A = this chain, B = another copy of it.
């Protein structure tokens, strides 16, 4: 468990935002961009952009700024978005369906190769042209495609069991869209995506904001 020199988590989270606007600038023909430009569009400080860029190994030119094209390519590569990563999704409810249809994923290197649900009434009927498969086909598909990433879109009650199934099949990264606290072996990475967190932050910030303006 040797802690390598890694990018700080807050910096990592900002990279997709940089990439998003940089791609637009590239399309608009802007070949070069300064930290000040980026900071302005994202309501951040230029120094923070420079620091973040340094973590990815990007170097700019004094007086000129950064090459937009280099930034886009380097950030994509840094995030692993320059290649397709296979994933399987369990849970074909409304959230699972929405995730399946999310076009942003393939553009960011996520390729959902299998959608599963334990509800027999759902299996067979396709979402976005892809079949919903029964769980008994899960392990085989994961192993055949050598899938490393699993997406959990089932109710909280079933999340741990689904996670166990994923781990057993060889998955080592889990994107958990349920609020459940799932427990996995050390070699597995879990990323929580709990809507309730965002709601809490929004409510409290609105409350604070209202108070500070009285």
* Inter-subunit contact A203/B42 (CB<8 Å): no
Chain B, Cβ-Cβ closest to A13: B197
Query: How often does this chain occur in the complex, in copies?
Result: 2
**Number of chain A residues close to chain B: CB under 8 A:** 67
Chain B, Cβ-Cβ closest to A78: B204
When chains A and B are docked, how far (Å) is the Cα of A208 from the Cα of B1?
10
**CB contact between A193 and one of B98, B172, B198 (< 8 Å): that residue:** B198
* Inter-subunit contact A149/B97 (CB<8 Å): no
Q: Contact string, A70-90, partner B, CB cutoff 8 A, digits 1/0? A: 000000001111000100000
Most B CB within 10 A of own CB, among A203, A204, A208: A203
Question: Which of A's residues lie within 8 Å of B, judged by CB?
Answer: 1-4, 6-7, 9, 12-13, 15-17, 20-21, 41-43, 78-81, 85, 93-95, 97-98, 101-102, 104-105, 108-110, 148-149, 156, 172-173, 175, 179, 181, 183, 187, 189, 191, 193-213
